[in-house]
């Protein structure tokens, strides 16, 4: 059975804002390696459209090995996009979800293969509410944004997680690995 893993970057004050954090080479390499361990990544429309930036890096490499490597890794990783407004996708490794989030994730979990990564704040919140996240990998950057999109907005109940490990980067960013409520099942 596949694990569903929420993996996201955030600021110290809990905001998910790609412009507030600046991943360095070490973090880009970590996420490129992580993508290679994924069977599929799940995105909402907004995050998916932000990730399309990496297609431009594929077409015009930056010369920065880790950025170019990340662009290749994200291009090769299958993506399932949840959107009510997008009708078609033209990224060869992406497709639109055909079922609702809960049904898609339950179907994916039953299949054999590598893990499922959830990479959008809205999907992380929705799957947290459904108790379908097995593990959280929260990369907290040493930045206080002051405002933005809080990761766990709209959650109204207490959820207790178990810290299973940490990974510290030279930049001061730390990934906190938490077992979700379903992680031990």
Contacts of 103 (CB under 8 A, 6+ apart): none
- 66-92, pLDDT tens digit by residue? 899 999 999 999 999 999 999 999 999
Q: How many residues are present in the chain?
A: 185
Q: Is the pLDDT of residue 185 over 80?
A: no
- 10-52, pLDDT tens digit by residue? 999 999 977 788 888 999 999 999 999 999 999 999 999 999 9
Give Rg (Cα) of the chain.
Answer: 16
The Cα 115–Cα 111 span in angstroms is: 10
The Cα 86–Cα 90 span in angstroms is: 11
Q: What is the pLDDT of residue 19?
A: 79
Instruction: Give the CA angle between residues 107, 134, 5 to the nearest 5°.
Output: 80
- 83-139, pLDDT tens digit by residue? 999 999 999 999 999 999 999 999 999 999 999 999 999 999 999 999 999 999 999
Rounded to two decimals, the pTM is 0.92
- 129-175, pLDDT tens digit by residue? 999 999 999 999 999 999 999 998 888 888 999 999 999 999 999 99
């Amino acid at each position: 059975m596949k694990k569903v893993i929420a993996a996201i970057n955030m600021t110290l004050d809990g905001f998910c804002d790609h412009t507030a954090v600046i991943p360095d080479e070490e973090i880009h390499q970590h996420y490129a390696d992580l993508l290679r361990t994924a069977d599929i990544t799940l995105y909402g429309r907004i995050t998916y459209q932000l990730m399309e930036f990496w297609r431009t890096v594929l077409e015009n490499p930056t010369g920065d090995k880790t950025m170019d490597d990340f662009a290749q890794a994200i291009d090769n990783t299958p993506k399932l996009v949840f959107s009510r407004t997008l009708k078609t996708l033209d990224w060869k490794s992406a497709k639109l979800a055909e079922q609702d989030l809960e049904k898609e994730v339950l179907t994916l979990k039953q299949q054999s293969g590598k893990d499922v990564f959830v990479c959008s704040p809205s999907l992380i919140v929705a799957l947290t509410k459904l108790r379908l996240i097995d593990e959280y990998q929260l990369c907290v950057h040493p930045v206080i944004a002051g405002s933005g999109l809080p990761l766990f907005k709209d959650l109204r109940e207490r959820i207790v997680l178990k810290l299973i490990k940490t990974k510290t980067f030279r930049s001061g960013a730390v990934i906190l690995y938490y077992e979700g409520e379903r992680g031990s099942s």
